[in-house]
Amino acid sequence: MSNAQEQKLMKAFGKRISEVRKSRGVTQQQLAEHINMSVVAIAYIETGKRWARLGTLNKIAKSLKVTVANLFEGI
């Protein structure tokens, strides 16, 4: 699958995570370590190259102290 619309969504979503993360003054490395995940995975998600499982979404949201719904805001 993975059509154009979906790609766009993923990019927007990744950008949102990236922004929230930066607003918290956290590096990808730090986030990765905090949720016990590889930096590469974070980078892939933030650049919209890969989607994340619910568990991952949840961990990221929790780590950045936002709700999952909030991560989807404006998407």
Partner DNA sequence: AACAAAAATAAACAACTAGTTTATGTAACT
Partner DNA sequence: AGTTACATAAACTAGTTGTTTATTTTTGTT
**Binding region for a copy of itself (CB under 8 A):** 1-3, 5-6, 9-10, 13, 51, 53-55, 58, 67-69, 72-75
Best CA proximity match to 54, nearest among 62, 46, 65, 43: 62
Task: Indicate whether 72 belongs to the interface with DNA (CB under 7 A).
Answer: no
Residues 6+ apart with CB under 8 A from 59: 35, 37
Q: Which does 44 bind (CB under 5 to 8 A by kind): a copy of itself, DNA, none?
A: DNA
Least distance (Å) from a copy of itself to the CB of residue 2?
7
Task: Indicate whether 56 belongs to the interface with DNA (CB under 7 A).
Answer: yes
Least distance (Å) from a copy of itself to the CB of residue 17?
13
